[in-house]
Structure 1
Amino acid sequence: MLYKGLIIGLFICGLTHVAKAQSNGIVEVQKDSLINLLQAFRAENGINPTTARMVSLGSKVVDKKNAKRVQVRGFRVQIYSGSSRNDAYAVQSRFQQEYKDFGSYVSYSEPNYRVKVGDFRSRSEANSFMRELRSQYSNVFVFTENVWVYE
């Protein structure tokens, strides 16, 4: 109930702000900086805005030595689920040998052990990695959970 009241209060404050801006005759436009980047990309590559295409805006390079690690809501790829503790740790070990740059995590929720890998901010990154892992592991899935990332 408190949550509902908070939302209504924020909505009323927003309406008041809009009404105040309109009475002054001033319109303030806020645009995400990525829009300019996307428009420039389309102009350089002759992409028609009515044609649907995947666009990569590149990945943000993080200096891990100077960055701090924080926990955020993100995605992981599950590569094992089963009742054998030994199998879970064997799968984790095999994964760590092949993918040294990705974190791997073993959890236990009765009666199953689960091995999840990666710390992805976006579902698309996790899905891409999941497709790569499908040839090596069976029953691979993407899960939403708290992950560790560098900022």
Structure 2
Amino acid sequence: MKKRSFIFTAACLFGFSLFSNAQEGRVTIKQDEMIPKLLALKTEMVNESRIADRYRIQLFSGDNNKASTVIKEYRALYPQWSSTIVYETPNYKVWVGNFRNSLEADRALLEIKKTFPAAFRFRPEKK
């Protein structure tokens, strides 16, 4: 009886080991070499706001000298959000941030309005 159970157990273990070896496999992924290039291009375009809907905050619109003063004051107080001066005929505008959604922009706007009460959130037109 012991001999039979030993043979049965050995046969079962041998069968399970064959079954488990049959389940192992290798996966080979072949992709076009353009895919990494396209992903890098998309990332660059999103970072430059060329394809994503982004929000900004405008602090000022007017002459160049006052825009320079406003952006210097802003940068001293809020270095965490980027800022730039944009020229749209006939005014220079101080724009802040590059926010992914309106909630993120509104949170920043609440903080910025403490110093710049005329600030407002907007979505720039795509070029």
* Same fold (TM > 0.5): yes
Partner of 1:106: 85
1:127 to 106, 122, 126: 106
Distance in 1, matches of 2:90 and 2:113, equals: 24
Q: Which runs of structure 2 are paired with 1:58-97 in the superposition (5 Å)?
A: 70=47, 71=49, 72-82=52-62, 84-97=63-76
Partner of 1:46: none
- Write the deviation string for residues 68-119 of structure 1: whole angstroms up to 9, x where unpaired: 772332001111112x101101111111111222110111112211101011
Structure 1: gaps spanning 5 or more residues: 1-66
Structure 2: gaps spanning 5 or more residues: 1-42
TM, length-normalised to structure 1 = 0.47
Distance in 1, matches of 2:88 and 2:54, equals: 20
Large movers: runs of 4+ above 4 Å: none
TM, length-normalised to structure 2 = 0.56
Distance in 1, matches of 2:55 and 2:95, equals: 10
Aligned length: 80
**Higher strand residue share:** 1
Distance in 1, matches of 2:84 and 2:123, equals: 14
Q: Which runs of structure 2 are paired with 1:1-40 in the superposition (5 Å)?
A: none
**Higher helix residue share:** 2
CA RMSD, Structure 1 to Structure 2 (Å): 2.1
Q: Which runs of structure 2 are paired with 1:36-51 in the superposition (5 Å)?
A: none
Do 1:75 and 1:146's aligned partners in 2 also have CA atoms closer than 8 Å? no
Do 1:133 and 1:140's aligned partners in 2 also have CA atoms closer than 8 Å? yes
Does 1:140 find its partner at 2:119?
A: yes
Shift in Å at residue 146 of structure 1?
7.1
Distance in 2, matches of 1:145 and 1:128, equals: 18
Determine helix, strand or coil for the equivalent of 1:145.
coil
Distance in 2, matches of 1:138 and 1:127, equals: 14
Q: What fraction of aligned residue pairs are identical, expressed as a percent?
A: 29
> What residue identity is the alignment partner of 2:73?
R
Shift in Å at residue 145 of structure 1?
2.6
